[in-house]
Structure 1
Amino acid sequence: MMEVIVQSPFAEIAALLVLAAVVGFLGIILRQPLIVSFIAVGLIAGPSALDLVRSDEQISLLSELGIAVLLFLVGIKLDVKLIRSLGAVSLLTGLGQVAFTSVFGYLIGLALGLGHITSLYVAVALTFSSTIIIVKLLSDKREIDSLHGQIALGFLIVQDLVVVLAMIVLSAIGIGAADGGHGGGSVPMVLASGVAMVALVVVFVRYVANPLTERLAHAPELLVIFAIAMAAMFAAAGDIVGLGKEVGGLLAGVALASTPYRETIAARLAPLRDFLLLFFFIALGSALDLSLLGAHVSGAIVFSLFVLIGNPLIVLAIMGAMGYRKRTGFLAGLTVAQISEFSLIFVAMGVSLGHVQEDALGLVTMVGLVTIAASTYMITYSHQLYAVFEPLLGVFERKGTPREPSEAGAHREDGHKVIIFGLGRFGTAIGLRLQKRGIKVLGVDFNPLAIRRWRELGLETEFGDATDPEFVAELPLARAEWIVSTVPLHPTGLSHEDTRTTLIQLTRTSGFRGRVAVASHHPKDTEELFASGADMVLEPFQDAADRAVDLLCGAPEEERTEIPSIETEEKQAS
Structure 2
Amino acid sequence: MLVLLVSFAFGFGYALSRIGLPPMVGFLLAGFVYNIAGFVPPSGLDLVSDLGITLLLFSIGLKLDLKGLLRAEIWASATAQILLTTGVLSGLLLLAQNVLSISLLDLSWPALIILGFALSFSSTVYAVKILEDKGDMSALYGKLAIGILIIQDLFAVLFLSLTAGKAPSLWALGILALPLLRPVLYRLLDGSGRGELFILCGLFFALGIGAELFALVGLKPDLGALVVGVLIAGHPRASELSKALFGFKELMLVGFFLSIGMTGLPTWEMLAAACVLCLVLPLKTGLYYGIVSRFGLRARTSLFSSLTLTNFSEFGLIVAAIAVEQNLLPANWLLVMALAVSISFAFSSPLSYYAESLYQYFSSWLRPFDPQRVHPWDAPIELGRARAVIFGMGRIGTGAYDVLQEEFGNAVCGVDHAPASVDANRAQGRNVLLGDACDTDFWLKLKRDEDLELVILAMPNHQGNVFAVHQLRNHGFQCTVVAIAKYQEEVDAFTEMGVCSAFNLYERAGAGLARKALQGCALRHQSEDSASGQ
TM-score range, shorter chain: 0.7 to 0.9
Matches within 5 A, 1:100-499: 100-113=84-97, 114=105, 115=107, 116-169=109-162, 177-178=163-164, 184-185=166-167, 193=172, 196-197=174-175, 199-205=176-182, 207-215=183-191, 217=192, 220-233=195-208, 234-239=210-215, 244-291=220-267, 293-295=268-270, 297=272, 300-306=274-280, 308-404=281-377, 408-409=380-381, 414-436=384-406, 437-488=408-459, 490=461, 498-499=463-464
Inter-partner Cα distance in structure 2 for 1:59 and 1:506: 45
Deviations 1:1-29 (A, max 9, x none): xxxxxxxxxxx334322332333333344
Shift of 1:444: 1.9
Q: Distance in 1 between matches of 2:347 and 2:22?
A: 11
Q: Does the C-alpha gap of structure 1 residues 527 and 26 become closer, same or farther in structure 2, counting only changes over 3 Å?
A: closer
**Quick check: 2:307–2:352 contact (8 Å CA) kept in 1?**
yes
Q: What is the CA-CA distance between 1:505 and the residue it aligns to?
A: 2.9
CA–CA distance in 2 between the matches of 1:454 and 1:124?
A: 43
Give the number of aligned pairs: 511
Identical aligned pairs, as a percentage? 26
1:66 aligns with 2:65: no
Residues 418 and 441 of structure 1 are in contact (CA less than 8 Å); yes or no, is this contact kept in structure 2? Answer: yes
Q: Where does the alignment leave 5 or more consecutive residues of structure 1 unmatched?
A: 1-11, 170-176, 492-497, 558-574
**Greater shift after overlay, 508-517 or 97-106?**
508-517
1:502–1:372 distance in 2 versus 1, CA, 3 Å = closer
In 1, Cα distance between the equivalents of 2:38 and 2:3? 15
Look up the SS of the partner of 2:46 in the other structure: helix
SS at match of 1:290: coil
CA distance in 2, matches of 1:223, 1:290: 44
Cα 1:366–1:238 shift into 2, 3 Å: same
1:518-540 alpha-carbon deviations (Å, 9 max, x no partner): 34566665565354243555566
The Cα shift of 1:108 comes to 0.5
Please give the secondary structure, in 2, of the residue aligned with 1:428: helix
Contact 2:391 2:456 in 1 (8 A): yes
Q: What displacement does 1:60 show?
A: 1.6
The answer to whether the 8 Å contact 2:425/2:432 transfers is yes
Q: Distance in 2 between matches of 1:35 and 1:296?
A: 20
The 3-state SS of whatever aligns with 2:312 is coil
Given that 2:388 and 2:412 are in contact with CA atoms closer than 8 Å, whether structure 1 keeps it comes out as yes
Instruction: Sort the Cα spacing of 1:479 and 1:454 in 2 relative to 1 into closer, same or farther, 3 A.
Output: farther
Deviation at 1:133, TM superposition (A): 2.4
Classify 1:148/1:348 alpha carbon distance in 2 versus 1 (closer, same or farther; 3 Å): same
Partner amino acid for 1:326?
A: A
Structure 1 position 516 matched with structure 2 position 481:
yes
Give per-residue Cα distances to partners, 1:161-186, cap 9 Å, x unaligned: 113324545xxxxxxx33x7xxx428
Residue 122 of structure 2 aligns with an amino acid whose one-letter code is S
- Is the 2:142–2:305 Cα contact (8 Å) retained in structure 1? yes
Instruction: State the AA in 1 paired with 2:246.
Output: A
CA RMSD of superposed structures (Å): 3.4
Aligned with 1:27 (options 16, 28, 36): 16
Q: 1:546 to 1:272 in 2, by over 3 A?
A: closer
Q: Is the 8 A contact 1:87 1:154 kept in 2?
A: no
Structure 1 contact 487–500 (Cα < 8 Å) conserved: yes
TM-score by length of 2: 0.84
| Cα pair 2:130 2:352 within 8 Å, conserved | yes
Give, in whole Å, the separation in 2 of the partners of 1:524 and 1:41: 29
Give, as a single letter, the amino acid of the residue that structure 2 aligns with 1:136.
Answer: K
TM-score (norm 1): 0.78
- Structure 1 residues 296, 84: CA separation in 2 closer, same or farther (over 3 Å shift)? closer
Task: Tell me if the contact between 1:415 and 1:476 (Cα under 8 Å) persists in the aligned partners.
Answer: no
Q: Would the aligned equivalents of 2:49 and 2:259 in 1 still touch at CA under 8 Å? A: yes
Counterparts of 2:513 and 2:447, CA distance in 1: 32
1:225-253 C-alpha deviation (Å, 9 max, x unpaired): 34323212322344565653332111122
Q: CA deviation at 1:33?
A: 1.3
Compared CA separation, residues 382 and 282, structure 1 to 2 (3 A): same
Cα offset, 1:309, TM superposition:
1.6
Question: Is the Cα contact below 8 Å between 2:214 and 2:224 reproduced in 1?
Answer: yes
How far 1:112 sits from its partner (Å)?
0.5
Change (3 A) 1:487 1:392: farther
Q: Is the 8 A contact 2:30 2:261 kept in 1?
A: yes
Q: Check conservation: 2:297, 2:375, Cα contact below 8 A.
A: yes
Query: Aligned in 2, Cα 1:473/1:294: closer, same or farther, shift over 3 Å?
Result: same
User: Does the CA-based 8 Å contact 2:207-2:225 persist in structure 1?
Assistant: yes
Counterpart in the other structure of 1:49: 37
Partner of 1:92: 76
Could you say if the C-alpha distance between residues 525 and 35 of structure 1 is closer, same or farther in structure 2, counting changes exceeding 3 Å? Answer: closer
User: 1:261/1:470 Cα in 2 relative to 1: closer, same or farther (>3 Å)?
Assistant: closer
Letter in 2 for 1:120: I
Q: CA deviation at 1:213?
A: 3.1
How far has the Cα of 1:507 moved from its partner? 2.6
Q: How big is the shift at 1:68?
A: 1.2
Tell me how far apart the structure 1 counterparts of residues 226 and 291 of structure 2 sit (CA, whole Å): 26
- Judge conservation of contact 1:518–1:537 (CA < 8 Å) in 2: yes
One-letter code aligned to 1:61: L
- SS of alignment partner, residue 289 of structure 1: coil
1:295–1:266 distance in 2 versus 1, CA, 3 Å:
closer
- Structure 2: gaps of 5 or more residues: 98-104, 524-534
SS state of the match for residue 404, structure 1?
helix
SS of match in other structure, 2:415:
strand
* Aligned twin of 1:562: none
- Matched to 1:508, the amino acid is R
